[in-house]
Structure 1
Amino acid sequence: MTRALTTIGLDADDTLWQNEHYYRLTEEHFRALLIDYAEPAMISDRLLEAEKRNLAYYGFGIKGFTLSMIETALDITEGRASGKVIGDILAIGRDLLSHPVETLPGVGDVLEALAGRYFLALITKGDLFDQERKLAQSGLGDFFDAVEIVSDKNATTYRRIFCKHGDEPERAMMVGNSLKSDIVPALAVGAWGVFVPHELTWVLEHVEKPIEAPRFRELAEIKDLPELIASIE
């Protein structure tokens, strides 16, 4: 009998463990460093503009974020940011690379329930070393049959991964907290897309919910994933 679902991809940051929370704390620290030059809201706006510009150059992750903070500091201070300020920005960027890994509630139980029954693939984007560090420290690595750390998540990414590791996208599912990166492109190649919102999501990951897509699902908590999968099977 042909199974309806054989492969499950899961996002990492803010799906399996906390991530955006640490970026928000770092941004608060960054605003404090520049408080003598601009209002906090303006600093955040300028930083977001820099991040948007720099995605094409630096990609996603902490290194690009740190470079965007430096660029923003030079912009706001009109090149007068001191060496100490630049050094402080580099320091808070490094701190992001060593923050503790806090897995989200229910994640371990869900992975234990699914491992062995489905091919589990961790599909995440960002800095290679940082994502590898977080996976190792999370203690979740043994649950996964494959780990894909990619530069971006789009339809081409999911088609490649689900064809490489599974039985084509039509028998695959992607689970994550970002509609833009995890859900919409997975749906575009015929996979299931399960949206598990996180209370903090980077503004650049916001898009409209694809509520008309027949394979779109939304869960309040990841603990409900096995039950949803059972209903599909």
Structure 2
Amino acid sequence: MGGKLTTIGFDADDTLWHNERFFRMTQDRFAELLADFAEQDHLEERLLEAEKRNLGHYGFGVKGFVLSMIETAIEVTEERVPAAVIAELMEAGREMLNHPIDLLPHAAEAVAHCAENHRVLLITKGDLLDQERKLAQSGLGDLFDGVEIVSDKRQSVYEDIFARHGDGADLGMMVGNSMKSDVVPMVDAGGWGIHVPHGLTWALEVATPPDGHSRYRQIEALNGLPALVDEISKA
């Protein structure tokens, strides 16, 4: 194992493969379907409120998103939403659950490099069946020593995962696009938090970066990860 770093966790959606853009496309379709009832900005605000309310009930992922769209459609139309619109929203959800996996640049190379000298884990939120499907289609499954599909990403979750699969969070690293879910709680757990920004970020995943913390780093893309991992491992 490599020096002071033995175990590296990767987020999945919008870190290894595209995801948020499909939510944005469906949200635009949602706005078009309800254009006669509400302006797009108002719809987006109401939808975000519904998603916040429903996270504790439905969790993260496409299914909760679709249910939140339907709930919002019922609310903004004062229960007059046409059944055809509900049917289209459900079909949009099925399309999201069936979209092909499109890896982000350098994803396969970055995971493969880390796997040469470290344990590598996939740690992701979302619907179990959907995340399993995406991992299977990604072609990356054989590179991971462990896969954790969790309901939320908190400090305690990282402490548990890196204790079970590694040598503790202090000898671990988490790589992801979400400051709130991938970086801050891992740094709080005593590990390395590596932020890889993505052009699209869900509003509920925004958080203040731990600037100045010795175990926080940001790289612009995954092609910068191998050199960073080598540097930290040899320190």
Normalising to structure 2: TM-score of the pair? 0.97
Asked if the contact 2:2/2:118 (under 8 Å) is kept, the reply is no
Return the alpha-carbon distance in structure 1 between the equivalents of residues 103 and 189 of structure 2. 29
How far does the alpha carbon of each residue in 1:81-134 deviate from its partner, in whole angstroms, 9 at most, with x for none?
A: 111111111111111101111000011111221213100000000011110011
How far does the alpha carbon of each residue in 1:176-232 deviate from its partner, in whole angstroms, 9 at most, with x for none?
A: 000000000000110000000000010110011110221000001111111001111
Q: How does 1:1-233 map to 2 (within 5 A)?
A: 3-233=3-233
The Cα RMSD (Å) is 1.1
Return the alpha-carbon distance in structure 2 between the equivalents of residues 104 and 163 of structure 1. 29
Asked if the contact 2:2/2:117 (under 8 Å) is kept, the reply is no
Q: After the TM superposition, which segments of 4 or more aligned residues of structure 1 sit over 3 Å from their partners?
A: none
Return the alpha-carbon distance in structure 2 between the equivalents of residues 115 and 34 of structure 1. 47
Gapped regions of structure 2 (runs ≥ 5):
none
Identity across matched positions, percent = 53
Gapped regions of structure 1 (runs ≥ 5):
none
Letter in 1 for 2:26: T
Asked if the contact 2:128/2:149 (under 8 Å) is kept, the reply is yes
Return the alpha-carbon distance in structure 1 between the equivalents of residues 91 and 229 of structure 2. 43
How far does the alpha carbon of each residue in 1:3-34 deviate from its partner, in whole angstroms, 9 at most, with x for none?
A: 20000000000000000000000000111110
Return the alpha-carbon distance in structure 1 between the equivalents of residues 111 and 184 of structure 2. 23
Return the alpha-carbon distance in structure 1 between the equivalents of residues 65 and 3 of structure 2. 42
Return the alpha-carbon distance in structure 1 between the equivalents of residues 207 and 195 of structure 2. 12
Return the alpha-carbon distance in structure 1 between the equivalents of residues 84 and 232 of structure 2. 56
Letter in 1 for 2:72: T
Distance 1:93 1:2, change over 3 A: closer
